[in-house]
Structure 1
Amino acid sequence: MSEKIKYLSGFGNEFASEALDGALPEGQNSPQVCPYGLYAEQISGTAFTAPRGFNQRTWVYRIRPSVSHTPYSQATRPAALAAEMVSTPNQLRWSPFKLPEAGESVTFVQGLKTVCGYGDPSMRAGIATLIYTANANMSTQRHSFYNADGDMLIVPQQGALLIRTEMGLLRVAPTEIVVIPRGIKFSVDLPDGPSRGYICETFDRHWELPDLGPIGANGLANPRDFLHPVAAYQDIDTGAPFTIFTKYQSNFFSLQQAHSPFDVVAWHGNYTPYKYDLKLFNAVNTVTFDHMDPSIFTVLTVKTGNPGVALADFVIFPPRWMVAENTFRPPWFHRNCMSEFMGLISGGYDAKAEGFSPGGASLHSAFSAHGPDVSTFEKASAEDLKPIKLRPDGLAFMFETSLMMSVSKWALEECGDTLQKEYYSVWQGMPKKFNPNKK
């Protein structure tokens, strides 16, 4: 059994990894007899006939095939994932989502909660935004999980995640992200104790790097900085059975098997989990005047069939230099055809004076106006525009989607005092400055 965490570098390429020398078959994917008596199994992330540039699949060579398990049975779904969805155009903001109470035992999967979303995973259409709060290791209970509904882009905010996947191990700390493609089994342990973070779940297509257009060949996220795990297998078939949970058409099921689901000794392909360090993002910004569109801060995107329109964009607002002259530097007042869910990993955010805290979130729905609060507006309108390093300790992000999001009943009514019901008041009292006699 190999436990050492190592990585393969790159994005969207064909990778190969083996924990035992010669475990990968040579020259073909499924020989009559695999090395070491392993079983060949393919995991297809796209249709077989998808164009080569979009086709994603991985061959794994494992100790036992995945099909060796008991029948699926209905499992208890975390209550907040079953919450009723409500339509509202109101601007919404939440204080930091609460961690599990002392004495509770909540794993990553048990702590999943839907905040907002829209669509139907059975139609491969839509998106969901979730948060997780957890304080217990899945491995202790021999639990694992796979999501048949969609890919999960996970953004830790507090506490690192030690994620065991079929392809190997990933350690993901705050300021890093990880993408677990649909159908890939994984479990999450918490090496730093109680943990909290955000998830963007997408039901159609997969995440990819955005096109750079006039920016050219370099900038934003560099493909070589994305890291994939290397093979690290478990050969365990004694003791308590392993329980695998799955989310399928928004319902929860479970199965049991006598052996570890993480028994892949070797693999090759391009359908794998991966992580990225957001500190490596090479931001692009204005060096003259005005405020660039936030799309210049896109790390990853899930495209739709409409050119330039995303099912989801993952956008970050990292520390960066601000040098624009004669410019209102914070984000301007705005009404957007897209829906914007924002979270804060650390520090503060330049459009808000207070109330937007690490571990919290906001949602500004399609064409619902938003922008800087009164005190931020007044300060930015009067400050001396010298070059500054913006929020050296701050890191905010946005899940932006072309869909009109509904909000879960849990996020509106059942998360205690986390919802800031007076959020609208931050824009009240905007002073009237208009004077037709003074330009």
Structure 2
Amino acid sequence: MWEDLKYLTGFGNEFASEDPRCPASLPVGQNSPQVCPYGLYAEQLSGSAFTAPRETNRRSWLYRICPSVLHRPFERIDSTHLTVDFSAHPPNPNQMRWKPFDIPTDGQVDFVQGLRTLCGAGQPATRHGLAVHIYTCNVAMENKSMQNSDGDFLIVPQQGTLRIKTEFGRLVVAPNEICVIQQGIRFSIDVEGPSRGYILEVYDTHFQLPNLGPIGANGLANPRDFKSPSAWFEDLDVEHTVINKYGGRLFKAVQGHSPFNVVAWHGNYAPYKYNLADFMVINSVEFDHCDPSIFTVLTCPSVRPGVAIADFVIFPPRWSVTEHTFRPPYYHRNCMSEFMGLIHGKYEAKEEGFLPGGATLHSIMTPHGPDAACFEGASTAELKPVRVADGTQSFMFESSLMMAVTEWAEETCSKLDKAYYECWQPLKKHFRIAEP
């Protein structure tokens, strides 16, 4: 079933795809004919305003066995593990680090049940802001799907491969890959054993590739390396539950068929995945450590030029060749919030304490940087060309908004490392009045 996956490549492309079991299922010449081929229903899914400029207009036409409107009323269900009320818990400007979040071992927990909100800012009701979640699960979403009416999910698996059914087709997403499932798209996640990962959710608009400026036409994440699913459908008459994340709360509606009944589709609004190993690293070759923005994979821009609601940044394996330079990340305070996660290996600037499946948050204007051991080692290291971050992959969700942590993240989950600040305490004073 999953071994014959076909993908469509290219970021933001206008695609047309039909399941080969139903050839010529895409209507010819118009989007909504009086009668669609095979007796299908035509349905448009809009990810932008109808009148958005052509370059930012996102929509797809779906040709499905039953329309998505065919369900019973939504009912509110428990959603205490999620929140969009980021003022409910007192703010905390301290550097924060979390040990790896526990994966459930007792009982069966699926993707939706295993979601937990860590931090965020803004509100989906005003279409402005973001949230960071962790997921931990161990079973598939059986006859259950989810749609996020609040915004887009950027999913970063850390442990366990995800098998994702979407209305547009199927995706297999392994650790060191990411996927984006946009607002309103229904999906269901199966897992290969215990699974854990991170999610960046944005409310404002959709992720896009960053502008390259003087870099030129090529580099960083190349459009051709992004993959969207080819059309695939299942025609199942079963009791199926659709979970709707709406206004930060969860609702469920029951219907008598699978929502993954799209036989054909065309458009430029579709989920996609990307392999982080395909990132084309650009870095300094003479002196000084480049700003982390040089490692941006995807960005969700704000209305202010050059300022992002959220950037997805990675720190991939690469060569370091700079001369007369302190090579690790410099000490800094930032007008941005920086949430970091570790997929595997050890992060170069903090090899102890920051572990795969854990996280850090350095809030707006909170100082941070290499720990004492990293500083001392890098200050005396021989500056020859060396490989950096081989066997590791860390990432950052960066935002111009002041992200507040949730009560669950700071108190309930018991994973907050209250000794994090100690990694900087051994830093010594090296000041001298006269140069030697």
TM-score using structure 1 length: 0.97
Report what 2:327 is aligned to: 329
Distance (whole Å) between structure 2 residues aligned to residue 130 and residue 437 of structure 1: 50
Distance (whole Å) between structure 1 residues aligned to residue 199 and residue 366 of structure 2: 23
Distance (whole Å) between structure 2 residues aligned to residue 419 and residue 232 of structure 1: 42
- 1:223-242 to structure 2, matched below 5 A, reads 223-238=223-238, 241-242=239-240
- 1:172-251 to structure 2, matched below 5 A, reads 172-190=173-191, 192-238=192-238, 241-251=239-249
The 3-state SS of whatever aligns with 1:295 is helix
Contact 1:85 1:116 in 2 (8 A): no
1:391 to partner: Cα distance: 2.0
Q: Amino acid of the residue matched to residue 39 of structure 1?
A: Y
Distance (whole Å) between structure 2 residues aligned to residue 306 and residue 341 of structure 1: 21
Q: Deviations over 1:376-408 (max 9, x none)?
A: 100000111111111210111000000001000
- 1:330-409 to structure 2, matched below 5 A, reads 330-409=328-407
Distance (whole Å) between structure 2 residues aligned to residue 305 and residue 388 of structure 1: 40
Q: Deviations over 1:308-364 (max 9, x none)?
A: 000000000000000001110000100000000000011111111300011110000
1:81 to partner: Cα distance: 4.2
Distance (whole Å) between structure 2 residues aligned to residue 272 and residue 394 of structure 1: 30
User: Which stretch of structure 1 is more off in the superposition, 429-438 or 389-398?
Assistant: 429-438
1:429 to partner: Cα distance: 2.6
Contact 1:163 1:186 in 2 (8 A): yes
Report what 1:317 is aligned to: 315
Q: Amino acid of the residue matched to residue 129 of structure 2?
A: G
**Structure 2 residue 131 is the aligned partner of structure 1 residue 123:** no
**Structure 2 residue 163 is the aligned partner of structure 1 residue 142:** no
Report what 1:112 is aligned to: 115
Distance (whole Å) between structure 1 residues aligned to residue 78 and residue 260 of structure 2: 24
**Structure 2 residue 102 is the aligned partner of structure 1 residue 98:** yes
Q: Residues 176, 142 of structure 1: CA spacing in aligned structure 2 closer, same or farther, 3 A cutoff?
A: same
Report what 2:421 is aligned to: 424
1:78 to partner: Cα distance: 4.8
- 1:10-25 to structure 2, matched below 5 A, reads 10-19=10-19, 20-25=22-27
Distance (whole Å) between structure 1 residues aligned to residue 394 and residue 302 of structure 2: 25
The number of residue pairs the alignment matches comes to: 432
1:18 to partner: Cα distance: 0.4
Report what 2:435 is aligned to: 438
Distance (whole Å) between structure 2 residues aligned to residue 157 and residue 326 of structure 1: 36
Report what 1:168 is aligned to: 169
1:77 to partner: Cα distance: 1.4
Contact 1:78 1:110 in 2 (8 A): no
Distance (whole Å) between structure 2 residues aligned to residue 264 and residue 437 of structure 1: 74
Contact 2:84 2:123 in 1 (8 A): no
Distance (whole Å) between structure 2 residues aligned to residue 353 and residue 107 of structure 1: 32
Distance (whole Å) between structure 2 residues aligned to residue 284 and residue 3 of structure 1: 34
Q: Amino acid of the residue matched to residue 372 of structure 1?
A: P
Unaligned runs of 5+ in 2: none
Could you tell me the percent identity over the aligned residues?
59
Distance (whole Å) between structure 1 residues aligned to residue 118 and residue 421 of structure 2: 19
**Structure 2 residue 58 is the aligned partner of structure 1 residue 61:** no
Q: Deviations over 1:132-186 (max 9, x none)?
A: 0000100xx3110000001000000001100000000000000000000010000
Report what 1:132 is aligned to: 135
1:3 to partner: Cα distance: 8.1
Q: Residues 67, 224 of structure 1: CA spacing in aligned structure 2 closer, same or farther, 3 A cutoff?
A: same
Distance (whole Å) between structure 2 residues aligned to residue 335 and residue 387 of structure 1: 28
1:419 to partner: Cα distance: 0.8
**Structure 2 residue 8 is the aligned partner of structure 1 residue 8:** yes
Contact 2:161 2:172 in 1 (8 A): yes
Q: Deviations over 1:209-259 (max 9, x none)?
A: 000000000110010000000111010114xx1000011001110000001
**Structure 2 residue 46 is the aligned partner of structure 1 residue 44:** yes
Contact 1:78 1:112 in 2 (8 A): no
Distance (whole Å) between structure 1 residues aligned to residue 172 and residue 237 of structure 2: 25
1:79 to partner: Cα distance: 2.6
Q: Amino acid of the residue matched to residue 88 of structure 1?
A: N
Superposed CA RMSD = 1.3
Contact 1:80 1:410 in 2 (8 A): no
The 3-state SS of whatever aligns with 1:86 is coil
The 3-state SS of whatever aligns with 2:376 is helix
Moved over 6 A (4+): none
Q: Amino acid of the residue matched to residue 178 of structure 2?
A: I
The 3-state SS of whatever aligns with 2:153 is strand
The 3-state SS of whatever aligns with 2:409 is helix
Distance (whole Å) between structure 2 residues aligned to residue 236 and residue 85 of structure 1: 44
Contact 1:90 1:365 in 2 (8 A): yes
